[in-house]
Amino acid sequence: MSVKKRLQDVFEQTGSLRRAIVSILLAMVIGALIVYLQGDNPLVAYTALFRSAFGSRASVFQTLANSTPLIVTGIAAAITFRTGVVNLGVEGQLYMGGLAAALVGVYLEGVPSFLHVFLALLAGCVVSFIWAAPFQWLRVQFGANELVTTTLSNYVAILLTTYLVAYPFMKPGAPLAMTKNVLPSAYLPRLVSQGRLNLGFIIGAVLCVFVWYVINRSSLGFEFRMIGANKRFSHYVGIRVKRMQVLAMGLSGAAAGLAGAIEVLGTQHRFIQNISPGYGWVGVLVALMASNNPIAVLPVGILFGALKTGGLGMEAATNVPSELSDVLQAIIILFFAANVVFPSLRKESVLKKKHAEIAHPEEV
C-alpha cells in the first residue's frame, strides 16, 4: 500500500510529463493505424517524418524556425491561464502586433538597425497590449465573459488588419493585400545562412525562461499565481485581483503581438493577409499541453514545430499527406486533455476501491 501511495505521489508530481509522453505514444499508434489502413507502411512514414524534422542540421533549423511562433503564442496563452484568465484572442492579437511592427518597419527611416528592430518589436507588443487588456476590463467590470469576447475579437482584429493592408497601407500593385516590405534595417538577423531560422527563436527561448522567472520569483508573478490558484484567497489577502487580471490579459496580448512582430520582421518581411495559419490557436494548445509552465512551452512548441516540418517532408518522401501531422497533433491534445492514462493510479479510482472494500468487505 505504501509503495502504491509513493507511486501515486511520483505520478502526481510528474503528472504532466507522463501524460504528455503517453499521449504522444498513443497518438503515434493511432496515426500508424490510419497510415496502415490507407495502404502505406507506417514505419516508413514515421521514419520520413522524423528524418525530415531532425535528420539533418538544415531540418533541425527548419523545425526550430517553424516552432518559433508556436512558442511565443504558447507563452502568451500560458500567462493568462496561470492567472485564471482565458485569452482565446491570441490569433487576433498576433495580427495586430504583426501589422504594428510592419508599419514601424516600413515607415520609420534612418534609425540604426538594432534600434529599428527593437522599436518595431516594441510596437507589436504595445499595440496588442492595448488591444487585449480592455477585454478583461470588460470582464471584471461588467462580467462580459472574456472567453467569448476574446474569441470574437479575433474576427475584428483579423478583418481590421486585412482591411488596413488592403486599402490604406497596401503595397501598390501587389497581387495580395500586403504592406510594402519592411526596411532591411528592421529585419531580425538570420541565425543560419540557409532557411528561415532567425533571432526570433532566441527571443522566444529567452522569453520562456524570463516569463518562468517572473512568474516564480517576482511579486507580480506571485500575485498571478495566487490569483490563478485561488481568487478568493487573493482578494482576501489584499491582492487587487481585477487590476492584476487586466494586466495579465494585456501582457498576454503583448506576447501574442510579439509573435506577430517576429513573424513579420524575421520571416515574411512584410505584413500580408492571412499571415498566420492559426499560430495563435496552436499556441493555446501548446500552453495547455505545457500545463502553463513557461519552460515546458519550449519543448512542446518544438514538438509541434517538428510535426509540421516532418509532415511536409513525409509528404514529399512517401504517399502519406502532410495532414497526418495535424491529425497527430489533434490526437495528442485529445489524449492529453482527456487524461486517460493509467486510470488505476488515479485518485478517484482509489476512492472507488476503498468504497468497494466497505461495501463488500468479505470479497477483498
* Shortest distance in whole angstroms from residue 1 CB to other proteins: 15
Q: In the complex, what is the shortest distance from the CB of residue 356 to other proteins, in angstroms, rounded to a whole number?
A: 9
C-alpha distances in angstroms, 309 versus 315, 317, 325?
10, 13, 9
Minimum CB distance to other proteins smaller for 46 or for 224: 224
Closest approach of other proteins to the CB of residue 213, in Å: 9
Shorter beta-carbon distance to other proteins: residue 13 or 274: 13
Using the minimum distance from each CB to other proteins, give the nearer residue, 32 or 220: 220
Minimum distance, C-beta of residue 261 to other proteins, in the bound complex (Å): 25
Measured from the CB of residue 352, what is the shortest distance to other proteins in angstroms? 8
Write down the least CB distance from residue 226 to other proteins, Å: 6
Q: How far apart are CA 33 and CA 41, in angstroms?
A: 10
State in angstroms the smallest separation of the CB of 74 from other proteins.
22
Structure letter (DSSP) for residue 182: P
Specify whether the CB–CB gap between 281 and 287 falls below 8 A. Answer: no
Given the complex with other proteins, which of 1 and 37 has the nearer CB atom? 1
67 close to 306: Cβ distance less than 8 angstroms: yes
Between 193 and 219, whose beta carbon lies closer to other proteins?
219
The half-sphere exposure of 357 on its side-chain side, counting CA atoms within 13 A, is 7
* Closer CB to other proteins, 4 or 243, in the complex: 243
Cα separation, 181 vs 169, in Å, equals 11
With beta carbons less than 8 A apart as the criterion, state whether 27 and 332 touch.
Answer: yes
What's the gap between Cα 172 and its chain centre?
Answer: 34
* φ, ψ dihedrals at 194, nearest 5°: -115, 145
Please report how many Cα atoms fall inside a 13 Å half-sphere around the Cα of residue 88, on the Cβ side: 10
Q: Is 272 in a helix, a strand, or coil?
A: strand
| Nearest residue (CB) to other proteins, 112 versus 238 | 238
Residues at the site binding other proteins, with contacts judged by CB under 8 A: 217-220, 222-223, 225-226, 229-230, 232-240, 351-352, 354-355, 358-360
Which triple of cell numbers denotes residue 34?
A: 490510419
Q: Strand pairing partners for 190? A: 198
Q: CA–CA separation, 148 vs 164, rounded Å?
A: 25
